[in-house]
Each structure stands twice: as C-alpha cells, then as structure tokens.
Structure 1
Amino acid sequence: MSTNTANAADPNPTKVTKVSHAPAGVPQYVLDYAPLVHLYSKELYNPANIASQLENTRPQISYKDVAVASTPLTLDNMDQLNKLGTHGGLDVFLTSKVDITTNPKWLNGVIPDASGKTNGVTSCAIIVNDHGSGNVDVYYMYFYAFNWGGVVLGDQLGDHVGDWEHNMIRYKNGVPQYVWFSQHGNGEAFQYRVLKKDKDGKRVSHSAFITTLLPPLSPNRFFLNPPHSPAPPLPPSPQLARPDHSLQPIVYSANGSHGNYATPGIHDHTFPNLNLSVPFLLTDKTDAGPLWDPTLAAYYYLYDAVKDTYTPYDPATPSAWLHYKGRWGDAQYPDSDKRQKQLAGNRKFVGGPTGPWDKQLNRKNVCPDNGLPCILRDDLGP
C-alpha cells in the first residue's frame, strides 16, 4: 500500500491525503477526487471481478464456440480474440457457460465491505489520459457481471450479461472541473462544484453523508461544449484530521442497470438528456445503499491516444484485455429462443456491451460525441 504525495496544484494542500492501494506514479488528485458510489440498497448485481468474466464465459461468433490459440483465456491474452472472425473481434461475444436464467451466483458480484472495498475482486479500471497543458481526463470504469434492464409496461426488457459504466472527471492542473455520469446510451455532465461530496468521510453507515455547502451559483444553468474550459473557482474545503473524503463526489448507481446519477430517487430517462423524478416508461431508482470506493480494488493505466496504448502503473497489471474489441456478454438471443421475449420490437435479452476502449477515451468535450447536446449542468435538477 502506498501513500502518494499531494499534487502541487491541489486547492487544499494541507489536507490529509487519501491512502489507497494505488501503485506509485498515480497522480494524487486521481485518488483525492475519485467518485464514491452508492449502490442501490436492494441491488442484486453488484460490482464484479473483471477477470472472472472470462472464467464463466466462452467466446462465440454467430452463437457458435470458437477456438483460441492460447488457453486459458486471461486478461493478459484476451486481445487474441480480435484475430477471430472477419471484423477484428467486433463479432465476438463472451457467452455464459451456463443458462443465465438459472441465476448463477457469479452474476451477483460482490457487495463492498465497510471500508468500501470489493474484497477479493478487481472491479474497476482507472484510465488516465493526459492531454497536456494541465488538461487531464480520468475515466473511472465500473464493471458488473450482469445488467438488469428493468420493467416496461409489465415486461422485463434490456437484460444483458456484462455491464460497463463510468464516470469521467476532467481536471485542470490537478483541480476537478467537470464530471460525466454514464447512463445507458448517454448520460449527464455536471460542474464538479455542484455535486454532493462525502463531507464527513464516514463509510460504514449507508446514510452518513451530507452535501458540501456551495457558494451562489451562476444564473446561467447550462454551458455547452467548452473543451477543457475552466470552471468557476472551487469553494474552500474543510480541514480534517483524518483521511479526507470531503472532496470525493457522490455517485448513485441505479438498481440493476447501474446507470450513474448525481442524486438519489426516481430517474425516468424515457426522453434523451432529460431525467424526470416522476416515473413514466424507462425508470431507474437510486438510493444511499452500500458505499463503494472503486479505487480500493482497481487496475490503473496511463492511456496514450496517439499510440492507442495502455501503460499500467504497476507492471504486473494486465493490459491486453483493454484492446479486446468484442462484447463482454452473450449475443442477443434469437426470437426462436424460448428465453427471449419482446415488446414493440424491444427484447428482454439484448447483446452484451463493448469494453472501455469504446467509451471515447480521447473525447474533446466532457460528454461523448453522440449527436446530442453536451450540457454542463450547474445544478442538480433534471
């Protein structure tokens, strides 16, 4: 375990810095401002071991098993799957070895302990992209073995094996400016200063947090597409005589779908870029359930976008898996499969997700470029 020195640009240089299992070289601000995630209190599918996904699946193309050159398949040789098929690995699916409708235990993941750690499993990848001139984007990638899609008009839809979600924090000279919350096919971006913080640093109690007091906000609620632009000055942080978690933004992970939200409660996401507190069709629920600190069991990497390389801060950390282009779960079951159901063209079981490489790790704006406006919110409303 190592304690890194504080970054010179830290707005609160006298605070007690966070102690973690991060390897040497990881910038201290990556830890000091790392998100803390409240899982849903009744969550069935908790953070899971990234490597175990390979142990419980086998690669398939077009619903047929495919042989790999090097066995067993591990995070160290997973990129070999890109040589299979005719699409550079894009048509490869990691398919469960057992029928997932039998609810195998490996889908459930691990509930964090009282310290916030997922003991015995590595459930997060933290990827640092240094753009130069003090501009750094840090991606906190969260892995779950299964996604429960939810119920729409009485039908369960959108389930899939494997689930990658993330927060991205944009830093300027070691100071957080904006935070991206991934949610399904899109998400939300906020100014860092408006987010709830774990002010008193208590992790054992699921409700032991209070919001950081903020100065008056700008009357302009939204800001559009400023690449690496500075945010208003951060408020001074309290001085604590213990490891300081008061700078860490609080994230609420939705029940089953693991969409990331800045507030607890009901989040209807039927309409793009608009989350409503009144349920309509597509609804997520969040609350202050078990608190997860993803930094305590994570892989750490420095990403070079020009070379498309991931350099682990710890040389023993596997990195080949980050180049895998295929899916982290089963392909969408055909309509002829008795497990499959549909509603208005939507299926109960859909294909598994792609991995971190496909999350626009070198994005210009805080939001991914998906054709929707990039709204940088300066309040926690919808």
Structure 2
Amino acid sequence: MHHLRHLRRLTIVVLVLVVIVFLLTFLPGAINPIPPSKEKLEADQRWINTSPSWLDRQACRWLSICGLLHLKPDPPEGLDCHYDEDHDLKRILDENYGREDTFVANYTGELRGIPEYVLDHAPLVHLYSGEYFWPSDIADHIQHVVPDPEEGKPLNKPDKLTLANLYELSSESGFLHLQSKDNVESRPRWLHSWGNIPTSYADESDEWDEWDEWNGGEDPSGEDTTWFEVDRDHPLQRISDPAKRPAGLPKDRLTTKRLRPARFRNRRVPRSPATHYYKPDESGYSRAPATLVLVDKGSGVVDAFWFFFYAYNLGQTVLGTRYGNHVGDWEHAMIRFEAGIPRAVFFSEHEGGQAYAWQAVEKRGNATETQRPVIYSAVGSHAMYAMPGNHPYVLPFGILKDVTDRGPLWDPSRNFRGYWYDYTATGDAEGLEPVKENPGAPTSWFHYRGRWGDGLYGLDDQRQWRLFGQYHYVAGPKGPKFKNLAREKMCQTWRCRILHSIAEGRKGSWYI
C-alpha cells in the first residue's frame, strides 16, 4: 500500500511535468497563425546538431530541453564584471561629449524638409528607471563589431566600417551578421551606453502638462476616410460627406505657422555625473540619435517612423532563467498622419506590436496646440507599450513578461537623423534621402541587408541553451528597411486591430 502511494505521487508528478512541457513547448506553436516553414525546420535540425553531446541532442529533439548543462546565472551587470564608477563615467564623458558625426553624403537634388506636424507630434519615451542598456548610436555600435558572413560566402570588407559604407558588406556576401568583438557576458561598457541616458535642457520653464488617457466614446477626429489602410496602390477613400472636416480642429489647422517652442532648440547643458545611474529631469536629450524615416503613402497620408537603437537586448527571466538576449536592438513607433492630422500610433513589441487610435494613447503637451504621444520602453527588451506596468507575452499565465514604468523621459525629436524613403524605388540601394535639415546624413547603412548583432549561437557554445522553445541567445535584428515601411495597415503584419482605448490594451495578449 505504501509503495502504491509513492507510485501514485510519482505518476502525478510525471503527468504534471508532461502538461507543463506541452503548454510551454507545443501550445504556442499550435496556435501560431504562421507555422514554421520547411527551411526553418531544417535550420532548426542543423542547430540541434551543433551540440557535441548525443544525450543533449536527443533531449533537445524529444523534450525541447537543449543545453541544460550550460544553465547559469545571467545578471544584467554580467558575471565577474567590476566598474570603477568615477573612472568609467569620466572616460564616457571625455569620449562622447563634443563628438561630431563625421560621415558625409553628397546630394545635388533639392531635399525635402520635415513637416512641422511630424515634430509637433513626435513621441516621448519613458525608459525604464532600472534600465541597464540605454539608447545607443549606430555609428558607435559598428565600431565594436566585425562582419561575419555566411559560411562559404566572400566578404569585401572596407578598411573601417562607417554608416557611409555599411551596405558594401552585404552587396556581395549574402547573409551577414555583425559579430561582437567582445564576449557579451563580460558586459563591455559599450553595451550599456551609460553616457547616452537623456540629459536635461537649460530651459526649465517649458514644462509639460499631463494628459489623461482618452476614455472612449466617439472619435473626436472623425473617421471619415480609409486612413487606416492606404498606400500608393490603394489611395485614400472618403467614407462620409467629403465636405466634412474632422471635428474639433480649427479651419486653418494645416496652414497655421507658429514659433517652435523652446523645447526644440538644440541647447544642451552638460551635467556632472553624480551617480552610476544619474537620473535626468523629465525633459530628455540623449547623445544617441534616434532615426526618423518619413514615408509618403500618397493621398496626403504620411507615416512617420521613429526608430530607436540599443546595443544590447537583455531578455526576461522565467523561473530565474533568462531568455531572448541579443546584440543590437531596433525598436520603433509609427505615427500615421492624414493631411497633417495624427490618426494612430503603432508600438513595436518583439516580433509584433499594437496599434492605437490617436485619441486612445496617453499624451503630453499644451492642450490647445501640441499633443505628443507617450511610449513606455520595457526594461532590457526595450519593447514599446502604451502604458506602464506588466505586459505578458509568448508564454501563458504571465510567466514571461515585460515591465515598464515612468523612468527617464527621452525626447527623440531633440537629436535624430532624418530621412524620406520612397518604398517604390526599384534599385537595391535606392529610395532613401536625407531631409534638408541634415543633408549630410549617411544612407548606406539603411540598405545593409544583414543583422545588427551576433548570429544564433550554436549548442556547442557554452553561453547557449534552449528550454521549451525559448533561446537564451537569439540572432540580432535586421534594420529599419526591413520593418515593412510600405505597410498599408498600421501594423507590420496583416493581423492588425486598432485599439480605441488604453483599457483594451491593458487586457494584453499572452501570444504576440
């Protein structure tokens, strides 16, 4: 009887483990609307075969437990990584303050400027208060990586990588990664970008007014056209009285000229570093430029893509085990304008994202003139959300989640590289031109086809593991050109639902 009781308990434990393995491994794949291709399945088998251990390969194939013996702590600050705080901050300031972008591009044609409404409604980003990996400058990033071509492919490598020659790497060599020169687990300083935490401006009188979230009801801007699904092949269609003007907007909304507020003046006050984190005031300039890509969709519709780059993505933890680390991290928000009127905002989140009607998102600004949407950047992953708090994704029951809060406020409109992009251009390295406000901005980097970080580490690498379908290290991302800038809908994929209240977004979705 005693043995039967133990056998029963053991059976229950085994059944529970089987259910957990099923939920964490097979359920996400079963409900994935885009099943893996044959090529992806074959690539996965090749990855499994990189393990030198037969037992590890079998456990990986049948139990989805790969590299179990590689498991170890992965704290944000790294293992055996010590900082001399005063020395490090002095070095960061000496290296970065006053540095100018020396890359030059020559354009003989007349360049287009940035529409005033784009900067008036530029987003503000709340970085996480306990972040370890802050905004980075792509010009700095490429000084710490080396090209790593696909096996067997040629590589015509320039003497020195710059934003003005990066495309040359991928023009002949096929698939490519930019591999870190350092072991990322030693947490080299350039991954953290401590010196790029937003800094305060001299003009402290220009304060922001808090805006409460829109609580639903009728859309005050009026949804009288098909702005939510438009490009040059699918022009704007009017779906109500063509004489009707969006409610609540002045007649001269599109022609009114006014002085740019003081917050847009390029004046910066260097500050003395007081602590390792030296938190800024809520009016933030960062020395790491954002990237603004403007896309004309025709019919008076312009998509303003704001791209944000980080040298490192620190994944989140599940039961003390970290998943999803990678070198290089591109995130973005897109604001769609119709005739200068903001209609909706897209927030990128990992491989997906969420779109909100303009009235739904939190804003700051002058209630009669300027409204700027507020974005919340998740700790480590930098995924973008419309509200602070916890945001579960991929795994059920909130096991894996992003966390956002009202940390340092980053104003990307104070420092950015701006471009217009014509997605109908036929040439492989054509269609992008700088805005007239920064005519010398380089363009080659935009057309680089490879990834901005390390490739997927194999199971022969002691840093790598995969449990229940989730990797410790994944491959770095591709750049802005490959984020579906030609999209008709607000989202990157065909699955796109525009939410009309923050309350809808708070419900979340455990699968993206």
TM score, norm. by length of structure 1: 0.76
Where do 1:255-274 residues align within 5 Å?
255-270=379-394
Which residue identity is paired with 1:297? N
The yes-or-no answer on 1:108 pairing with 2:192 is yes
Structure (1/2) with the larger helix percentage: 2
Paired residues of 2:157 and 2:169 also in contact (CA < 8 A): no
Which residue identity is paired with 1:362? A
Q: Would the alpha carbon gap of residues 315 and 174 (structure 1) be closer, same or farther in structure 2, given more than 3 Å must change? A: same
The yes-or-no answer on 1:187 pairing with 2:344 is no
Task: Name the CA distance, whole Å, in 1 between partners of 2:329 and 2:350.
Answer: 10
The yes-or-no answer on 1:134 pairing with 2:300 is yes
State the 1:305 CA deviation: 1.1
Q: Would the alpha carbon gap of residues 66 and 116 (structure 1) be closer, same or farther in structure 2, given more than 3 Å must change? A: farther
Query: Which of 499, 502, 506 is the aligned partner of 1:377?
Result: 499
State the 1:57 CA deviation: 0.2
State the 1:346 CA deviation: 2.1
Residue 170 of structure 2: aligned partner: 82
The yes-or-no answer on 1:30 pairing with 2:118 is yes
Residue 400 of structure 2: aligned partner: 282
Residue 198 of structure 1: aligned partner: 364
Paired residues of 2:285 and 2:414 also in contact (CA < 8 A): yes
Which residue identity is paired with 1:345? G
Residue 420 of structure 2: aligned partner: 302
User: Could you list the runs of 4 or more consecutive aligned residues of structure 1 that deviate by over 3 angstroms after TM superposition?
Assistant: 62-69
Structure (1/2) with the larger strand percentage: 1
Task: Name the CA distance, whole Å, in 2 between partners of 1:46 and 1:97.
Answer: 19
The DSSP-based 3-state class of the residue aligned with 1:55 is coil
**Residue-by-residue CA offset, 1:322-377 (whole Å, 9 max, x unaligned):** 000100000111111111122123221110000001100010101112x53x1100
Task: Name the CA distance, whole Å, in 2 between partners of 1:102 and 1:64.
Answer: 30
Which residue identity is paired with 1:112? P
Task: Name the CA distance, whole Å, in 1 between partners of 2:389 and 2:454.
Answer: 31
Gap runs ≥5 in structure 2: 1-110, 201-282, 508-512
Residue 68 of structure 1: aligned partner: 156
State the 1:269 CA deviation: 1.7
Query: In angstroms, what is the RMSD of aligned CA positions?
Result: 2.0
Gap runs ≥5 in structure 1: 1-22, 201-236, 240-245
Residue 230 of structure 1: aligned partner: none
Query: Which of 220, 235, 238 is the aligned partner of 2:368?
Result: 238
**Residue-by-residue CA offset, 1:28-65 (whole Å, 9 max, x unaligned):** 11101010000000000111011111100000024899
Percent of aligned positions that are identical? 39
Residue 323 of structure 2: aligned partner: 157
Task: Name the CA distance, whole Å, in 2 between partners of 1:344 and 1:62.
Answer: 27
Task: Name the CA distance, whole Å, in 1 between partners of 2:351 and 2:157.
Answer: 34
Task: Name the CA distance, whole Å, in 1 between partners of 2:471 and 2:388.
Answer: 28
State the 1:282 CA deviation: 1.9
Between the two proteins, the alignment pairs up a number of residues equal to 304
Task: Name the CA distance, whole Å, in 2 between partners of 1:309 and 1:322.
Answer: 10
Which residue identity is paired with 1:286? T
The DSSP-based 3-state class of the residue aligned with 2:330 is strand
Task: Name the CA distance, whole Å, in 1 between partners of 2:322 and 2:153.
Answer: 28
The yes-or-no answer on 1:332 pairing with 2:456 is yes
Task: Name the CA distance, whole Å, in 2 between partners of 1:299 and 1:356.
Answer: 13
Which residue identity is paired with 1:160? H
Task: Name the CA distance, whole Å, in 2 between partners of 1:42 and 1:68.
Answer: 41
